[in-house]
A and B are shown apart, each in its own frame.
Chain A
Amino acid sequence: MSMDLPEGMKLIDENGKRLDGRNADELRPIRIEAGVLRRADGSAYVEMGKNKILAAVYGPRECHPRHLQDPTRAIVQCHYNMLSFSVDDRKRPGPDRRSVEISKIVGEALEYSIFLEQFPRTSIDVYIAVLQANAGTRCAGLTAASVAVADAGIPMRDLIPACAAGKVADTIVLDLNKEEDNFGDADLPLAYIPRTGEVLLLQMDGHLTQAEFNRAIELAKGGCSQIYAVQQDALRRKYSIAAGENGGKEEEARGNVA
């Protein structure tokens, strides 16, 4: 946030357009695919602008290390990981303080969305791999992870969409890209469930007046609603459920060693 703007770079032009041609209230193009990995119990791939993110879920499975086991419910263990080549200067593989923090808050948001009490003593392990980063990876990572949890067939309250809003060249904008994040004035990542209005992830850095904050929240909420629809669509496509097609006729059959 607030590095010096390179000479000649205009984050917002005279027509109110941003560097990548977007309007202030516009998301970057977003694409989500569910069930992209075979070994994991659930998975999803998200492209949001130039972010490329994979999420995988294993579990519920036996909880290791054992001392973390909760006899009454499942725990969620989330690992956010930036691949070494996902950024301009090679990042050393392995967790740093930033990725540990992101893992924690993203994991906590997911925890709320899952019916943990159905799986005592187990762990639900969520892995987020950032293949290519361009600002907003924690939000895109959570968006992907939530679809992966659903793809794993884990009972959940709802999907969690996430995106950021912020302030760039005195303008409140939605979904900051890398230049806007580097040279802008404020960043506000938000995850919330549109259906219920529950806020599950909220951070902010930079400088906003309370009025600007309110405007940013409105933009981020709008972004979340759009992403939520894309998440649902990804799951529908994976399971090819067109409207009215899910009333399978052979479901009543009871399985037993036959």
Chain B
Amino acid sequence: MSQRSPLSEVKKGHITTLLAKGKRSDGRSFGELRPVSIIEGAIETAEGSARMKLGNTEVVVGIKMAVGEPFADTPNKGVLTTNVELIPMAFEEFESGPPSPMAIELSRVVDRGIRESQMIDLEALCITPEKEVWVLYVDVYALDYDGNLFDASSIAAVAALRNTMVPAKRFGKGEDFHLPLRSTPISCTTVKIGDYLVVDPTLEEEEVSSARLTVATDENGDLRAMQKGGSGFFTFEEVKKSIEMSVEAGRAIRGKI
């Protein structure tokens, strides 16, 4: 692995000078997302898939399913497993080997957005209570990193789940069927740079930011999951503002998947 240099003081100064004038270095407004492009179902070996670009950040998500045993405390529910792989292809500081704390936090935040919104009807993935259920693997791979993997990963995961076919035939469990879904959670991240809040940060913006807030909302604009990160703080006013910005930006994404 190669150590990336600290962000230059000149670049930091440039970003904050621009923010004070109401601008971002790529010309976006504070609440504006980068261009989103999603290719759904591109991976034929997966039960569902999505390749997504958010600006220059790119991820690919594949869904695999298998028949397995339920957890003892949820004998009539399918099993959801979410994993984010930060492979070194995507960024000079990502290493192969066991998942980093960043990868684990990402996996858990993506998982929570899907799980807590009850997006998937896990009861419908029970084959025989206590014995056989469908196990669902959501595997996210970062391919190109330019900030905000939280949103790229969770939005791509949701898009992939939406085109997932349960491979019942391959496992001798009847005809294939669409993964039973109930809602579509959308995650949106805001970071704080100085006293300013901006959504969907680029890598350079992440590097100068002090704190991050990821908010997953549903169709009604209700909150389904949140995660604050970074070593800085938000005031309650800023938390409210972040949520507003996330709901607003989330609406824009909702139209794209």
A residues with CB within 8 A of B? 37-40, 50, 52, 54, 56, 58-59, 61-62, 64, 79, 81, 83-90, 93-95, 125, 127, 129, 131-134
Q: Which residue of B lies closest to A130 (CB)?
A: B45
The answer to whether A50 and B44 touch (CB under 8 A), given A61-B92, A85-B49, is yes
Q: Is the CB of B234 closer than 8 A to any CB of chain A? A: no
Closest Cβ of chain A to B80, distance in Å, is: 14
Flag if A61 contacts B87 (CB, 8 Å).
no
A127: contacting residue among B3, B89, B137, B139, CB under 8 A: B89
Q: Which residue of A lies closest to B65 (CB)?
A: A90
Q: Which residues of chain A are within 8 angstroms of B92 by Cβ–Cβ distance?
A: 39, 58, 61
In the assembled complex, the Cα of A38 lies from the Cα of B96 at a distance in Å of: 20
Q: Which residue of A lies closest to B43 (CB)?
A: A132
Flag if A40 contacts B89 (CB, 8 Å).
yes
Q: Which residues of chain B are within 8 angstroms of A87 by Cβ–Cβ distance?
A: 45
Q: Which residues of chain A are within 8 angstroms of B143 by Cβ–Cβ distance?
A: 37, 54, 129
16 additional contacts (CB under 8 A) given A61-B92, A90-B137: A38-B146, A40-B144, A52-B42, A52-B43, A59-B2, A83-B85, A84-B139, A85-B46, A85-B49, A87-B45, A88-B45, A90-B139, A94-B96, A127-B87, A129-B87, A132-B43
B96: contacting residue among A64, A86, A95, CB under 8 A: A95
Q: Is the CB of B58 closer than 8 A to any CB of chain A? A: yes
Proximity string of chain B (76-99) to chain A, C-beta cutoff 8 Å, 1 when within and 0 when not: 000000010101111110001100
Flag if B62 contacts A83 (CB, 8 Å).
yes
Proximity string of chain B (40-71) to chain A, C-beta cutoff 8 Å, 1 when within and 0 when not: 00111111010000001010101110100000
Q: Which residue of A lies closest to B83 (CB)?
A: A93
Q: Which residues of chain B are within 8 angstroms of A38 by Cβ–Cβ distance?
A: 56, 144, 146
Interface of B is mostly: loop
A129: contacting residue among B3, B45, B46, B89, CB under 8 A: B89
Closest Cβ of chain A to B152, distance in Å, is: 13
Closest Cβ of chain B to A241, distance in Å, is: 24
Proximity string of chain B (145-178) to chain A, C-beta cutoff 8 Å, 1 when within and 0 when not: 1100000000000000000000000100000000
B residues with CB within 8 A of A? 1-3, 42-47, 49, 56, 58, 60, 62-64, 66, 83, 85, 87-92, 96-97, 137, 139, 141, 143-146, 170
Flag if B91 contacts A83 (CB, 8 Å).
no
The answer to whether A89 and B88 touch (CB under 8 A), given A79-B96, A83-B60, is no
Closest Cβ of chain B to A215, distance in Å, is: 32
Flag if B2 contacts A93 (CB, 8 Å).
no
List 6 A-B pairs, Cβ < 8 Å.
A37-B58, A39-B144, A83-B85, A83-B141, A94-B97, A129-B89
Flag if A61 contacts B2 (CB, 8 Å).
yes
In the assembled complex, the Cα of A89 lies from the Cα of B64 at a distance in Å of: 8
Q: Which residue of B lies closest to A128 (CB)?
A: B89
Q: Which residues of chain A are within 8 angstroms of B141 by Cβ–Cβ distance?
A: 83, 129
Flag if B139 contacts A83 (CB, 8 Å).
yes
Q: Which residues of chain B are within 8 angstroms of A52 by Cβ–Cβ distance?
A: 42-43
In the assembled complex, the Cα of A81 lies from the Cα of B150 at a distance in Å of: 23
Q: Which residues of chain B are within 8 angstroms of A93 by Cβ–Cβ distance?
A: 83, 85, 139
Closest Cβ of chain B to A86, distance in Å, is: 6
In the assembled complex, the Cα of A131 lies from the Cα of B43 at a distance in Å of: 7
